[in-house]
Structure 1
Amino acid sequence: MEIGTEHTHQVDLMSVEVAWELLWRSMNIGEEKEVQNLKGIGTEIVCKCGCLPLAIKVIATVLASRDQTENEWNKIFRKINCPQKKLPGDIEEALYISYDELPHHLKQCFLYCAMYHEDSTMFRDDLIRLWVAEGFVEEQPDQLLEETAEEYYYELIHRNLLQPDGVYFDLSRCKMHDLLRQLACYLSKEECFIGDPESLGGQSISKLRRISVVTKKDMIVFPPMDKKHLKVRTLRNPYGVSQGIDPSLFKKFSHLRVLDLTNSSIQSIPSYIGNLIHLRLLDLDGTEISCLPECIGSLVYLQILNLQRCKAMHILPLAITQLSNLRRLGLADTPINQVPEGIGRLELLNDLEGFPIGCGDGNGKTKDGWKLEELEHLSQLRRLQMIKLERATSYSTDSLLTDKKHLKVLRLYCTKRTDGPYSEEEVSNIEKVFEQLIPPQNLEDLAINTFFGRRFPTWFGTTHLSSVKYLNLLDCNSCVHLPSIGQLSNLRYLKIDGAAAVTKIGPEFMSCRRDNSRSMDVIVAFPRLEYLIMMNMPNWEEWSFVEEEDAAAAIATEGGEDGSAKIQKGKALSPRIQLLPRLKSLGLVDCPKLRALPQQLGQEASSLEVLILREARSLKVVEDLPFISEMLSITGCDCLERVSNLPRVRELRVQYCPNLRRVEELGSLQRLFLTDDMREMSSVWLPGLQLQCRQRHGEDLDIYTWA
């Protein structure tokens, strides 16, 4: 149904009921009874939304922000029924109202997303930087502009105006629904142009403020234009097409605030760029430039300089330290080896990615990397990635990072060595350096990459990581034991990728040792962890959650040649210990020596939905996991013989498991995915699954080819 038309259409009653249910559930206001008295007017609203789920969801956020009275809901209904703004027939009025209800700053941010191509994935951090550079973000007391912009991003998601990419649970990537993008493009059509710039032709461009280049041509070329009529503030090439740049571009657009040349084949930046005095953001990500001109220092208002993935660039100009308004310097994956002294003078810098550590030696005014001391005066740091930490020396104090109250993201990288092992002196030094890099208690995201010390720093598992939500330990192949982090109360995501020295994971990892608690205390290990990924651990053999004597007291087992163990009915883990109560997804990848899953996993992980096993070649059984509710995926488990007692799992995927002879007690199974290599072996147990499915559900099991 088109919104705003006077004539009525007959709407399927069931569709209206479903639409009403979607409306009140989308409002997140509690029980249905709270709005049940509004069902009449609510039904009229969802009908005016054409029972379109997107329109219902966005109008629900508008209704939720009003008083839950018939008078307030009638106001919204009248706006939909008698629109004040004429819209094209294919744009829903309910979508426009959700836009119209936004405060001014959010309207600007929403319309800006129209600069992205249809179906494009938008990165949260990119949007934040663009919104700051465009001046859309209002200053708030004691808060960085980037922190405020991040709140804008999540607010647009909350209002269903941006859709988070479900693959990324931290909501760091999103898309815009086609219908909402049509609305944004329509409302910003006079100021924004998306397409091949050559097609601008004789079009009036005096009102044009933003150009997003979409072309397959080898060169970005603009038609002849009268410079005095050009007021373009934003020029972007965001779609990753390798293109050259018309050199005259830098002279034509003298009012630019945002210049994004991502992935273009430009090899040099003309000195005229120093005349773009209004420039706030310069993005040269993935370009072929080898250097920046010293006139870059003339860009006194520049806030964001992206130089990541510039493979030919090895030196930063001295003028970088003159950019007193710089808020971000991105150097990740760029082989910078000569830097100017004095980066610590850029006191507004809050996003520093790819900070190369060095001894500070060099010729003239450039140095072979920065010393840790350069970070001392950067009190605004919000995101920090340090690389080449193996070149650092012990610092005079442990408070280098602890006083940085805005620091939320910290990446600590060493360089992978290819010319032999590290010496004992180097190992001792890196352990001392990491021991001193104590993070502040406000840190939310920590990654450690290629750390070659034999033990993790002692600040792991302490209050210094009490706010951490995301933890990545990557290629820490010399550490014999994993850190004791089970008591990190806010940890939601944990990835351990590369831990070659680890052979056993025990209760110390879960922080479940008995001496950690008083007799009456209840220990909850990983109380908020939702995603656990453990991969590339070639020597890991044993995994246990509790002390052996505790396990023996709680669980009676009968061992067999296949290493299986049955849980005795009525026995459970000690009530003093709770494990992984919110774990949703567990992935074990490339752990070829792991012999068994912990028995307590089936007792304690009551929220588990997905289990992924890949190249766990020594596992013989996967059994007694009653909570797995969505999917079990098994790949390359050569020794696996039995999968049993997974009563809630709905989907099973199997490939390269040549010895899997028994699959049973999967009472809720609805979908089975098999690769061609499993056809013959599955004939042994597939008839039993089919019979079980017919008896319980009255229909055959859905079987698919897993390509």
Structure 2
Amino acid sequence: MEICTEHTHQVDHMSVEVAWELLWRSMNIGEEKEVQNLKGIGTEIVRKCGCLPLAIKVTATVLASRDQTENEWNKIFSKINCPQRKLPDDIEEALYLSYNELPHHLKQCFLYCAMYPEDCIMHRDDQPGQLLEETAEEYYYELIHRNLLQPYGTYFDHSSCKMHDLLWQLACYLSKEECFIGDPESLGGQSMSKLRRISVIINKDMLVFPATDKECNKVRTLRRIEQVSQGIDPSLFKKFLYLRVLDLTDSSIQSIPGYIGNLIHLRLLDLDGTEISCLPECIGSLVNLQILNLQRCKALHILPLAITQLRNLRRLGLNETSINQVPEGIGRLELLNDLEGFPIGGGDGNGKTKDGWKLEELERLSQLRRLDMIKLESAIPYSTGSMLTDKKHLKVLNLYCTERTDEPYSEEGVSNIEKIFEQLIPPQNLEDLGIIRFFGRMFPTWFGTTHLASVKYLKLLNCNSCVHLPPIGQLPNLRYLRIEGAAAVTKIGPEFVGYRGANPRSTDVVVAFPKLESLIIENMPNWEERSFVEEEDAAAATATEGGEDGSVEIRKGKAPSPMIKLLPRLKGLALVGCPKLKALPRQLRQEATSLEVLQLIGARCLKVVEDLPFLSETLAIVGCDCLERVSNLPQVRELRVTSCPNLRCVEGLGSLQQLWLDVDMQDISTMWVPGLQEHHRKLHSEDVDVYTWP
């Protein structure tokens, strides 16, 4: 479970006053007073946006890029009020303005999004144009910043997104001369000679293109063939000889014909989720191929020898594909920078193929930006130190072991995996680290070193044999932390916070998790200890707070412990599946001053949620059987409760605006909802809005 607010397609119109507030807030300029003198023309602008939230947000991005003067805002208003081109009635002029203000390179990226079906999820790393990966990422995030793409779902790094329906319609309209979406047979006698991009959606047994070979010569992108139940006309691979992008994602195609070797201009071949069981050796003829996606190909177990001939390959996706036979020589693909699902093999093969690659084969891949290594339990300890520390471009690293369901790993296996992980020292430029199904008893010692100084995102998933969490509280740039399935951990103490070993007489303030914004702790069935520091240390740290000026006052006869400050920037916290946790960590009440969202799910022993003065937005509580009281949350705006049968007291929520209750809470809530409403009417002269939470 992740903490985020998912984008929803906002189409409801709002009042002019609320629309004005949304406009200046979306500009990220701080206080309203900075643009208060522009409220008159701003009100006219939001009216021309139809008081539509999406149109207001994209217009706000345009306004924010200009000087905050009445002349500049009048220019924007004039462009919306007197459009220079005729648009369909269902497309807002303000949306076209946001497109028209884009630089040329971003216009092309925006129009390319029309190739995806309406409401489709788009993945950042599957975009063509990977030749300059960092530049491509800049374009992607710039479109998000301009509200032309909306982050989707729970991806903390916004690696997936959607395009709002209205913006998708705009992109389709503007690209209609070169882009076609639908069944090609619906074109009838209409020529395809002008088309450059085709996205096919049909419900027939066989995909057939009625166009002549000559008409297909200008098509550069063919993608999103879906709902095809039988197969694809083999002539497809003969007709479109000049393709740059071929995307067969989730189609039922079972084999790739040898004709594909003729598509020598191909840059991207996406077979994600198809039923293919093998790749032809002629794939080695695709000398310009940069991206080969083979994720979720459940029937594919062997990579062809010819794959090592793809010297321009930059991304190879193998995640969730059970590859058990690979060719030697992956190191020849020296331009590879994205390698997901790199299977490790222990034994030798027949001289040409084997069950997985050795760690040594990573040495020549100096351009790696992302690396996912699987089956690490099969690795043999490396003889000359670490092969990762010198990979100066590596930003994302995920290390997977295979889960055993038949019997536990032997002592020898445990010792071996600990040695392997100890050698996988990441480079200091790493930003995103995931360790999944590690079955060693101790995390590698490099967790407590400077090697993780640049890490922003950290995931520790199903590391069920480690008794203690690693010392990561002092990582200076960590913003997102997810811990899931740490079954052996009963206590989260000072070793996790990372201050143990500091000078015990120091009066300096030690800040733990200084930049952490999102923390998810999930499925920790044995976690009981509720404090992140030892109680005596916590008492010593808090008892020394003395004078009116906030200075530290040392008690007689007591050597001061370091002052511990925890989670100063934490915005979202989720505690999920922690059934033995009886109380929230004390530090949440005193030190999490930026907390906005708190989710408590399956904390069956939790009895009270109280005294959280800084929690400012949402509290969601699900399946907390013993919960009796929620109180003293003065800033919370939204409360969601379900499956809490003993919740008999809710009070001290003076800022509450919305209450969401499941149907099973209707009876028990009658004990406290009237009191909440009465208190709210005294403070705000109106009722709290009460909704049913499905």
Q: Aligned to 1:87, what secondary structure does the other structure show?
A: coil
Cα distance change, pair 33–355 in 1 and its aligned pair in 2 (3 A): same
Name the aligned partner's letter for residue 271 of structure 1. G
Name the aligned partner's letter for residue 258 of structure 2. S
| Residue number among 422, 434, 439 corresponding to 1:435 in the alignment | 422
Once residues 36 and 175 of structure 2 are traced to their aligned partners in structure 1, the CA distance between those partners, rounded to angstroms, is 38
Q: CA deviation at 1:704?
A: 3.6
Cα distance change, pair 44–612 in 1 and its aligned pair in 2 (3 A): closer
| Residue number among 463, 486, 499 corresponding to 2:486 in the alignment | 499
| Residue number among 306, 315, 321 corresponding to 2:302 in the alignment | 315
Once residues 641 and 675 of structure 1 are traced to their aligned partners in structure 2, the CA distance between those partners, rounded to angstroms, is 17
- The range that moved more, 420-429 or 612-621, is 612-621
Write the mapping of 1:47-66 to structure 2, written as runs, cut at 5 A.
48-66=48-66
Once residues 24 and 689 of structure 1 are traced to their aligned partners in structure 2, the CA distance between those partners, rounded to angstroms, is 32
Which residue number corresponds to residue 250 of structure 1?
237
Once residues 90 and 325 of structure 2 are traced to their aligned partners in structure 1, the CA distance between those partners, rounded to angstroms, is 55
Q: Deviations over 1:583-634 (max 9, x none)?
A: 1221111112222222221111112222222222222222222222223222
Which residue number corresponds to residue 298 of structure 1?
285
Q: Aligned to 1:230, what secondary structure does the other structure show?
A: helix
Give the TM-score normalised by the residue count of structure 2.
0.89
1:102 partnered with 2:89: no
Which residue number corresponds to residue 380 of structure 1?
367
Q: CA deviation at 1:394?
A: 1.1
Once residues 531 and 491 of structure 1 are traced to their aligned partners in structure 2, the CA distance between those partners, rounded to angstroms, is 9
Name the aligned partner's letter for residue 185 of structure 1. C
| Residue number among 159, 178, 181 corresponding to 1:172 in the alignment | 159
Which residue number corresponds to residue 478 of structure 1?
465
Name the aligned partner's letter for residue 62 of structure 1. V
Which residue number corresponds to residue 550 of structure 2?
none
Cα distance change, pair 335–169 in 1 and its aligned pair in 2 (3 A): closer
Q: Deviations over 1:112-135 (max 9, x none)?
A: 011122222222222xx3243xxx
Once residues 203 and 389 of structure 1 are traced to their aligned partners in structure 2, the CA distance between those partners, rounded to angstroms, is 55
Name the aligned partner's letter for residue 427 of structure 2. P
Once residues 68 and 702 of structure 1 are traced to their aligned partners in structure 2, the CA distance between those partners, rounded to angstroms, is 37
Once residues 679 and 98 of structure 1 are traced to their aligned partners in structure 2, the CA distance between those partners, rounded to angstroms, is 46
Cα distance change, pair 697–241 in 1 and its aligned pair in 2 (3 A): farther
Write the mapping of 1:538-687 to structure 2, written as runs, cut at 5 A.
538-553=525-540, 576-687=563-674
Once residues 485 and 408 of structure 1 are traced to their aligned partners in structure 2, the CA distance between those partners, rounded to angstroms, is 18
Cα distance change, pair 173–517 in 1 and its aligned pair in 2 (3 A): farther
Once residues 618 and 32 of structure 1 are traced to their aligned partners in structure 2, the CA distance between those partners, rounded to angstroms, is 45
Once residues 691 and 82 of structure 1 are traced to their aligned partners in structure 2, the CA distance between those partners, rounded to angstroms, is 51
Which residue number corresponds to residue 114 of structure 2?
114
Name the aligned partner's letter for residue 540 of structure 1. W
Write the mapping of 1:170-249 to structure 2, written as runs, cut at 5 A.
170-227=157-214, 230-237=217-224, 244-249=231-236
Once residues 597 and 479 of structure 1 are traced to their aligned partners in structure 2, the CA distance between those partners, rounded to angstroms, is 23
Percent of aligned pairs with the same residue? 81
Which residue number corresponds to residue 329 of structure 2?
342
Q: CA deviation at 1:658?
A: 3.6
Cα distance change, pair 186–705 in 1 and its aligned pair in 2 (3 A): closer
The answer to whether the 8 Å contact 1:513/1:547 transfers is no
Once residues 36 and 641 of structure 1 are traced to their aligned partners in structure 2, the CA distance between those partners, rounded to angstroms, is 46
Cα distance change, pair 486–36 in 1 and its aligned pair in 2 (3 A): same
Name the aligned partner's letter for residue 130 of structure 1. P
Which residue number corresponds to residue 248 of structure 2?
261
The answer to whether the 8 Å contact 1:524/1:577 transfers is yes
Q: Aligned to 1:515, what secondary structure does the other structure show?
A: coil
Q: CA deviation at 1:677?
A: 3.8
| Residue number among 262, 269, 273 corresponding to 2:260 in the alignment | 273
Q: Aligned to 1:652, what secondary structure does the other structure show?
A: strand
- The range that moved more, 529-538 or 408-417, is 529-538
Q: Aligned to 2:600, what secondary structure does the other structure show?
A: strand
The answer to whether the 8 Å contact 1:241/1:263 transfers is no
Q: CA deviation at 1:62?
A: 3.3
The answer to whether the 8 Å contact 1:356/1:369 transfers is yes
Cα distance change, pair 638–61 in 1 and its aligned pair in 2 (3 A): closer
Which residue number corresponds to residue 128 of structure 2?
130
Q: Aligned to 2:112, what secondary structure does the other structure show?
A: helix
The answer to whether the 8 Å contact 2:206/2:228 transfers is no
The answer to whether the 8 Å contact 1:314/1:337 transfers is yes
The answer to whether the 8 Å contact 1:673/1:705 transfers is yes
Cα distance change, pair 655–55 in 1 and its aligned pair in 2 (3 A): closer
Once residues 214 and 368 of structure 2 are traced to their aligned partners in structure 1, the CA distance between those partners, rounded to angstroms, is 39
Once residues 689 and 24 of structure 2 are traced to their aligned partners in structure 1, the CA distance between those partners, rounded to angstroms, is 34
Q: Aligned to 1:208, what secondary structure does the other structure show?
A: coil
Cα distance change, pair 536–50 in 1 and its aligned pair in 2 (3 A): closer
Q: Aligned to 2:496, what secondary structure does the other structure show?
A: helix
Give the TM-score normalised by the residue count of structure 1.
0.88
RMSD: 2.8
Q: Aligned to 2:128, what secondary structure does the other structure show?
A: helix
Q: Aligned to 1:524, what secondary structure does the other structure show?
A: strand
Cα distance change, pair 205–434 in 1 and its aligned pair in 2 (3 A): same
Higher relative contact order (CA 8 A, sep 6+): 2
Which residue number corresponds to residue 7 of structure 1?
none
- The range that moved more, 208-217 or 697-706, is 697-706
Name the aligned partner's letter for residue 147 of structure 2. N
The size of the alignment, in residue pairs, is: 667
Q: CA deviation at 1:345?
A: 0.7
Cα distance change, pair 521–651 in 1 and its aligned pair in 2 (3 A): same
The answer to whether the 8 Å contact 1:620/1:640 transfers is yes
Name the aligned partner's letter for residue 620 of structure 2. S
Q: CA deviation at 1:78?
A: 5.1
Q: Aligned to 2:583, what secondary structure does the other structure show?
A: coil
Cα distance change, pair 356–229 in 1 and its aligned pair in 2 (3 A): closer
Cα distance change, pair 16–555 in 1 and its aligned pair in 2 (3 A): closer
Q: Deviations over 1:265-284 (max 9, x none)?
A: 11111001101111111111
Q: CA deviation at 1:166?
A: 6.3
Q: Aligned to 2:140, what secondary structure does the other structure show?
A: helix
Cα distance change, pair 518–251 in 1 and its aligned pair in 2 (3 A): farther
Q: CA deviation at 1:466?
A: 1.5
Once residues 41 and 496 of structure 1 are traced to their aligned partners in structure 2, the CA distance between those partners, rounded to angstroms, is 49
Name the aligned partner's letter for residue 107 of structure 1. K
Cα distance change, pair 79–243 in 1 and its aligned pair in 2 (3 A): farther
Q: Aligned to 2:447, what secondary structure does the other structure show?
A: coil
Q: Deviations over 1:188-210 (max 9, x none)?
A: 11110001122122111111111
Once residues 523 and 650 of structure 2 are traced to their aligned partners in structure 1, the CA distance between those partners, rounded to angstroms, is 27
Name the aligned partner's letter for residue 645 of structure 1. N
Q: CA deviation at 1:378?
A: 0.6
Once residues 552 and 520 of structure 1 are traced to their aligned partners in structure 2, the CA distance between those partners, rounded to angstroms, is 14
Q: Aligned to 1:505, what secondary structure does the other structure show?
A: coil
Cα distance change, pair 389–229 in 1 and its aligned pair in 2 (3 A): closer
Cα distance change, pair 675–86 in 1 and its aligned pair in 2 (3 A): closer
Which residue number corresponds to residue 443 of structure 2?
456
Q: CA deviation at 1:306?
A: 0.6
The answer to whether the 8 Å contact 1:227/1:253 transfers is no
Which residue number corresponds to residue 5 of structure 2?
none
Once residues 349 and 621 of structure 2 are traced to their aligned partners in structure 1, the CA distance between those partners, rounded to angstroms, is 53
Q: CA deviation at 1:635?
A: 2.5
- The range that moved more, 61-70 or 181-190, is 61-70
The answer to whether the 8 Å contact 2:191/2:215 transfers is no
